[in-house]
Amino acid sequence: MFDIKQVIMGVGLAAAAALGANGAMAQAIYTVNSGGLESFNVSIDGTTYQDALAGGIALNYVSGTGSSVVGVCTDISGTLYLGYNYSFGAPTSMAGQSGLDPSWGALTGNQSANAAAAVLAASDIFHNESSVLTSGSVDQRAGLQLAIWAALYNTVAGVNSISLDGSRFSVGLPGTSTTWSGSWGQTYVGDGAAIQDALNDLAGVNFNANYVGDILIPNPASQYGSTGQEILTNVTPVPEASTIIAGSLLLLPIAASAIRSRDRRMVLVRRSA
């Protein structure tokens, strides 16, 4: 979500469609800009935010080790100011993370298990739909953001469905267009098409999929007096255990052959000596 003050004040899945980040990157500074945003009324844990912005977030590389990315946000109560520079650490695995503000996962039952399931659901959505952040419409970008928020905050472990109007997160259309004045002034008008795109994204979640995702975490967590946003930069499938075992077995004959070849070379060396 984003409240603007000349800025983005954020609720978001900084789930970013990577333009080239990788796990070896170190600390970097980025300028935050719009990557295609629309306005919605959203609610998290009983608190409603009017005219919150959802959609693409552009992190334009400034310095350090990194590259520019376009994405969406994970931390619905975090804040990013449009046009401001932010410092982020190297990409970190999303697995095992719980969110900066607030924590991920539905509050029903075991929240730790819910958070783990939420990470997988959000990663599946991002893996399948993140291309819209560079080639899709603004509605599609906003829909992706809304779907990822729903996945992160409404997912219950063992329940193979996610609601856009759930126990923690829900979304509605704003009553009127919202315009911010000044050099950053723009009109961000959310519509039903983005909400329908979000519903489609949620309906397509594969709850048996397993992914590993990387997120950019603001470092320090608080900048300009507010907790920042984590940005999801990359998602890749995790091979099933059976696939890994089968692949390992295929390597055994090669390894045995290499050992025999090495033994022969050793014998030849000894004979020559």
Domain check: are 179 and 253 in the same one?
no
Domain check: are 195 and 216 in the same one?
yes
Say what the pLDDT of residue 148 is.
94
Please report, for residues 72, 155, 166, the alpha-carbon distance to residue 108 in angstroms, rounded to integers and kept in the order given: 26, 9, 11
Cβ–Cβ under 8 Å, residues 85 and 60:
no
Cβ–Cβ under 8 Å, residues 215 and 97:
yes
Domain check: are 247 and 220 in the same one?
no
Domain check: are 186 and 273 in the same one?
no
| Dist. CA 268–CA 263, nearest whole Å | 9
Does the structure show a pLDDT above 50 at 8? no
- pLDDT digit string (tens) for 78-136? 889 989 999 999 988 888 888 999 999 999 889 999 999 999 999 999 999 999 999 99
> What is the mean predicted confidence (pLDDT) over 214-242?
84
Amino acid at 246: A
Q: Helix axis angle, 111-129 relative to 138-154, nearest 10°? A: 160
Domain check: are 234 and 246 in the same one?
no
Give the length of the chain: 273
φ, ψ of residue 219 to 5 degrees: the values are -135, 105
| Dist. CA 82–CA 85, nearest whole Å | 9
Domain check: are 250 and 230 in the same one?
no
- Domain extent for 56: 2-238
| Dist. CA 85–CA 261, nearest whole Å | 57
Model pTM above 0.85: no
Cβ–Cβ under 8 Å, residues 228 and 79:
yes
Domain check: are 37 and 169 in the same one?
yes
Domain check: are 189 and 263 in the same one?
no
Average pLDDT across the chain, whole number: 80
Domain check: are 232 and 247 in the same one?
no
Does the structure show a pLDDT above 50 at 25? no
- pLDDT digit string (tens) for 123-169? 999 999 999 999 999 999 999 999 999 999 999 999 999 999 988 99
- Six-digit token string for 44: 């998290």
Total number of domains constituting the chain: 2
Domain check: are 120 and 204 in the same one?
yes
| DSSP structural state of residue 165 | B
Domain check: are 266 and 204 in the same one?
no
Domain check: are 49 and 164 in the same one?
yes
